[in-house]
Structure 1
C-alpha cells in the first residue's frame, strides 16, 4: 500500500489509538509495523482473529495480560547464557504465567462455540510452570531475593542478622562508654562498617580505625578496635550473601536458557495475542463490526462513521459502489461533508484490509484492493514551484500509472485549480481512463458538467451531500443516486435578497437548466426511497440465507447425533444380551454339574424349561433391538395438541404441535426440530407418581448442590487491580447463577486502591443490586458486602 494514501487518510492516528489498548511494548511495535495485507486470505484471517477476540471480551471479560512486559532484551541475553538481573527474570516469569493463564482462558469452554484462529495460535503455548514457580519463589521484588531461594542463603542471612544484632549491642555500649569524647551519642555507618563520631581533639582517647571526617574537620568517624572483628565478620557474610545471590540468579538464568526456545515462543505468542486483543478493545470502544470481504471490488458500508470524529456528533452514512456502478461522483456545497465521506471510504477500507474491525453496521462489505490511491487536500509546494493544480495533477499522473482493476481511487475536487471548462473536461477524461482500467472510483467535484456525465454514463452514479435550506446548514447526509442541487436562489431568499432580483436571475438562466434542477428535486425523494427499500431487501435476504444455512447445519448435526446414539444404544444392548446369555449358560452348566452329583431328572427338566424361556425372552429383545424399536407405553389412536408422547424410532419424548391430518400423521416438536410422524408410531408416556416425586427431589437436590458449590465470599488480597476485577466479575457471575443473594468481597484495608477499583466495577455490574462496606464483625473497611439481584 502506498505511503501517501496511508498518510492522507490518517491511518497513523488509528494505529496510535490502538496502541493505547496494549499491555506490552512489543505489541506496540507490531501495531507500528501494521499495514494492509496484500492477499485476501490474510485479510479474512486477521479480521476473524479480531472478531474472535471481540467475542471473548464480551463472554469472558479481559484476558489475563497482567504483568506483561517487553522481554525481548532479557531473552536475547538469556539465549547467550548470560546471568539475568532479578527484574528481568521476574518479567520473564510474569510473561510465562500470562501465557499459561491465557491457555486456560481460551480452552475453558463455557459453551460449544469455538475460536478457531485464536485457538490455533494458543496451541503453540508450552506451559513452563516449573520455571515460573522457581523464579517467583526466589525473587519477591525487582531487586529483592527471597530467603527461601536456597538453604544456604537462608543460613547466611540468619547469621548476618545475629551478627548485626551483636555488633549493634556492642557499639551501643561503646557509645555510652565514650560519650564524653563523642560529638553525638549515637553511632553511624561508613562503607558498611559501624563507626562512632569522635571529636577530633579526643581521637587518641578512642583507639580504632579512622574511616571518615566531617566537612569541618571537627568530627572523626572511628571504628573502635573492639568492633573490627565483628565488622569483618559482617563484611564476610555480606560477600557470601552476594556470591550466593549471584549463584541463584545464574541457576535461574540457566533454567531459562535450557528452555529458551519455548520461552521465546511463549513471549511471541503473548505479544501477538496482546496485539489482537488491542484491536478487539478498539472495536469495542468504537462500536465496530467485522465486515464481509469480497474480491469483486464491491463496497457496501451500512451507517459508516469516521472513527476520528467524535462518535456523539458524527453522522452515519450508507456508502456503496461496485455492483450497479463502479464510479461515484459526489457533488454539494463546501463544508457539506464531501471530503469526510471520501476519507471515510478510504480509511475504513484500509482499516479492514489491516484486520481491524470498522465502525459500521452488521452485514457491511468491503472490497479487497491491493492499492488505495488518494488525491485529497492541497499539497502545493513553494520549494518545488508547484501550484495547487500542479500538485494535484502530479499525484493524478502517478495514480494513472499504477491503477488497475484491484485499485480504489479517491479524488477530492477532481480537476479543480484551473479554468472550469478545461478542468471539467480533464476530470471526465481522467475518470474514463480509470474506468477503462476497471478501477473503482469515488470523486468529489463542484463542476455541474460531471453531474450530466454521471447521468448519461453507464456504471457511473451521482451522489450529493444534503443541504437544509430552512436552517442554511448542511446535514452531512450522503444521498446516492441524486446529483447535488443548486440552492443558490433558496438560500438568497432566506438571507433577504428581494424577489425581483431572484426573478431576474432566473430569467437569465436557460429553461433547460431550470428544468434540470426541478428534475433533480423530483428524483431526490423517489431515488432515496427506492434505494432504501432495495438495500433493506438485500439485508433481509442475507439474514434469511444465513438463518437457513445455520438451520441446515444444526439439522445435519442433529441427524448425525441421532444416528450415532441409536447405533451406540443397539451395540450396548447387544453386548448386554450376549453377556446375559453367557452368564445364563454358565449358571445352567453349574446346575447340571450339581444335578449329576445328586439332583433328580425332574429338577433337570424344570431347569431346561426355565433356560428355554430365558433364551426366548432374550431373542425377542434382540429382535426388537435389531429393528431399532424400543417399546415404551401403549399405542395411541388419538392425540391432543401439547401432549407429551414417545417416539420409539427416535428413542425420544416429543410434544405434539398439531392434530392428525388426512395422511394419518401429526407434527411434533423434538428438541429444536419439527417433524411429521405417523400416528401408529407414537406411544403413550408412562410416568408414575413415584417417578414425579423422584424428579422433583432431584431438581431440589441439584439446586442445593449448585448453591453449595459457590463460596459466599472471594478473597482478592495480594492481587493487582486488573486481576482482582477479572476474578470478581467471574465470581459474581457464578454467585448469581447459584442463586446467592448476598456475598462478601475481601480486598483488605491497605491504601484503599483495590477497594476503590472494586467499587467502581460494582457500580456498573449487571448482577449487583447494591453494595456497602462491612460492619463491625464483618471485616470493616477491608470487606465490601454485595447484594445481588
Structure 2
C-alpha cells in the first residue's frame, strides 16, 4: 500500500464512496462513483463543486429531474455494431428507455441554461434519438416487452390468421374431447411441444387415433395429438414460423437503426453516466446537509466540521461533536 492509499484508508474514503454509490440512479453512475478519487487541480475541484451545487439547487427548487430509466446498454450497443445482428426485445426496451433519458435530460438542462451553466455544458454530449425511440415504441409494447400486432402489416396479417386457425383447431379438439371424454383424464385441450393435444388415460392407449407427444410424470396420462387435427396443427406451426421470421426481421431492422447512430449513442451513455455521478454526489451532500467549501491553495480552515460517516450513523446530528481545524495560516 503506497502513501496515498494509506491516506485514503485513514480518511475512510472508500466508505464515503460506497455511501455515494447508493445514491446513483443507474448502474452507469454507480460505476463512475466506484472510480472516484480526490482531485489535485484547483480548477477541476471548482468545476466539480459547482456542478454538484447546481444539481442540489435543481433537486431542491426545480421540477423533478428526469434521470430515471437509464440502463447499462453498452454491451447491447457493441452487439448492434455488427452487420446483421439482432437485439432481443427486452434489450431494445432498455435501449429506448435509456435513449429517452438522454433526450429528456438534454431538454431539461437546455431549457435552464442560465440557471445551471456548468451542468448545461454537458448538453452537447446528450443527443436526441426520437426517431429510434418512435421506431421501437411503434414495434414493441414497453409494458409487456412484446412485439405489437401492428408492428408491421405483415405481422398483423400473420397473427390474425394464427388466431383464426387456433380457434378453429380448439373447436375441433373440443369436439374430439366430447367424443372421447370417457377415455380422457380431463375434458380439456392442452399444449405439448407447441401443439394442441388431449390427455388420454394410459389404459385407453390407442382408443384415440393419433401421435403420442408425451406423458405425465406418473405415466398415467398420455398426451395425444389426434390424427384428424394433425394437418391443422402443422398449418399452425407453419404460421408460427412465419410469425417468428417476421419478428426477427423487425428486430434486425430496429438494431440496424441503432447501429447507424452508434457513435452518438455511446457519447450519450458516457454523458448520462457523468450526470448520474453528479446526481449521486448532490443527493449525498443533501443527506448530510453539507456546505460548499471556498478554496484556498495555502490554507485549510474547518469551522464546526462534522465527520460525514459519523453524521450518517447518528440518528441525531446534534450528538456528533463538531471540529475546528486551521492549517497553513501565516
The residue number in structure 2 matching 1:430 is: none
For CA contacts below 8 A with separation 6 or more, give which structure has more relative contact order. 2
Structure 1 match to 2:97: 94
1:54 partnered with 2:56: yes
Q: Which residue of 2 aligns with 1:140?
A: 141
Is the Cα–Cα contact under 8 Å of residues 68 and 94 in structure 1 kept in the other structure?
Answer: yes
CA distance in 1, matches of 2:145, 2:117: 41
Instruction: Please provide the CA RMSD for this pair.
Output: 1.8
Indicate the SS of the match to 1:319. Answer: strand
> What secondary structure does 2:196 align onto?
strand
Determine the structure 1 residue equivalent to 2:161: 159
Q: Residue 106 of structure 2 contacts residue 127 of structure 2 at CA under 8 Å; is this kept in 1?
A: no
CA distance in 2, matches of 1:11, 1:249: 45
- Among candidates 303, 321, 339, match of residue 327 of structure 2: 321
Q: CA deviation at 1:238?
A: 1.0
- 2:213 alignment partner, SS class: strand
Unaligned runs of 5+ residues in structure 1 are 325-789
What per-residue deviation string (whole Å, max 9, x for no partner) do you get for residues 196-216 of structure 1?
122344333322112123344
SS at match of 2:308: coil
Kindly tell me: are residues 305 and 62 of structure 1, through their superposed partners in 2, closer, same or farther at Cα, counting changes over 3 Å? Answer: farther
What secondary structure is seen at the aligned counterpart in 1 of 2:186?
A: coil
Give secondary structure in 2 for the equivalent of 1:289. Answer: coil
Report the alpha carbon displacement of residue 178 of structure 1 after superposing the two structures with TM: 1.4
> Deviations along 1:402-431, whole A, 9 cap, x unmatched?
xxxxxxxxxxxxxxxxxxxxxxxxxxxxxx
Q: 1:28 is matched with which residue?
A: 30
Q: CA 1:280–1:205 in 2, change beyond 3 Å: closer, same or farther?
A: same
Matched residues in 1 for 2:4 and 2:250: separation? 52
Shift in alpha-carbon separation, 1:315–1:62, aligned structure 2, 3 A: farther
Q: Alpha-carbon deviation of 1:69?
A: 1.4
Report if aligned partners of 1:25, 1:70 keep a CA contact under 8 Å in 2: yes
C-alpha distance in 2, partners of 1:200/1:44? 80
Superposed CA deviations along residues 268-297 of structure 1, whole A, max 9, x for unmatched, are 11111011111011111111121111222x
> Structure 1 pair 191/17, CA: closer, same or farther in 2 (3 Å)?
same
- Spell out the pairing of 1:384-423 with structure 2 (5 A cutoff): none
User: 2 CA distance for matches of 1:227 and 1:83?
Assistant: 35
Normalising to structure 1: TM-score of the pair?
Answer: 0.39
Shift of 1:79: 2.3
Is 2:212–2:223's contact at 8 Å kept on the other side of the alignment? yes
1:185 aligned to 184, 187, 192, which one? 187
How much does 1:143 deviate? 4.2
Query: d(CA) in 1 for partners of 2:171 and 2:200?
Result: 19
Secondary structure of the 1:34 match is coil
Give a deviation string over 1:596-648, Cα, whole Å, max 9, x none: xxxxxxxxxxxxxxxxxxxxxxxxxxxxxxxxxxxxxxxxxxxxxxxxxxxxx
Q: What are the superposed Cα offsets for residues 629-676 of structure 1, whole Å, 9 maximum, x if unpaired? A: xxxxxxxxxxxxxxxxxxxxxxxxxxxxxxxxxxxxxxxxxxxxxxxx
**Shift in Å, 1:149:** 1.6
Pair 33,168 (structure 1): closer, same or farther in 2 beyond 3 Å? same
- State which of 292, 295, 301 in structure 2 corresponds to 1:293: 295
Structure 2 CA distance for partners of 1:292 and 1:151, relative to 1, 3 Å: same
CA separation in 1, counterparts of 2:219 and 2:306?
Answer: 76
Query: Does the aligned pair in 2 maintain the 1:18–1:279 contact within 8 Å?
Result: yes
What is the aligned partner in structure 2 of residue 304 from structure 1? 305
Give the drift of 1:315.
Answer: 2.2
Q: Which residue of 2 aligns with 1:642?
A: none
Matches within 5 A, 1:323-362: 323-324=329-330
1:9-28 equivalent positions in 2, closer than 5 A: 9-28=11-30
**Which is greater in Rg?**
1
SS at match of 1:294: coil
Change (3 A) 1:76 1:201: same
Structure 1 position 106, deviation (Å): 1.4
Assess if the C-alpha contact under 8 Å between 2:177 and 2:198 holds in 1. yes
Deviation for aligned residue 1:305: 1.0
CA distance in 2: counterparts of 1:182 and 1:107, whole angstroms: 68
**Matched residues in 2 for 1:217 and 1:75: separation?**
48
C-alpha displacement at 1:61, in angstroms? Answer: 4.4
TM-score with structure 2 length normalisation?
0.92
More helix by share: 2
Query: In the TM superposition, what are the counterparts of 1:307-706 in structure 2 within 5 Å?
Result: 307-309=308-310, 310=314, 311-324=317-330
Contact 1:304 1:316 (8 Å CA) reproduced? yes
CA contact under 8 A between 1:23 and 1:69: conserved in structure 2? no
Q: CA deviation at 1:38?
A: 2.6
CA 233–322 in structure 1, closer or farther in 2 if over 3 Å, else same:
same
**Of Structure 1 and Structure 2, which has the larger fraction of its residues in strand?**
1
Q: Is 1:249 aligned to residue 214 of structure 2?
A: no
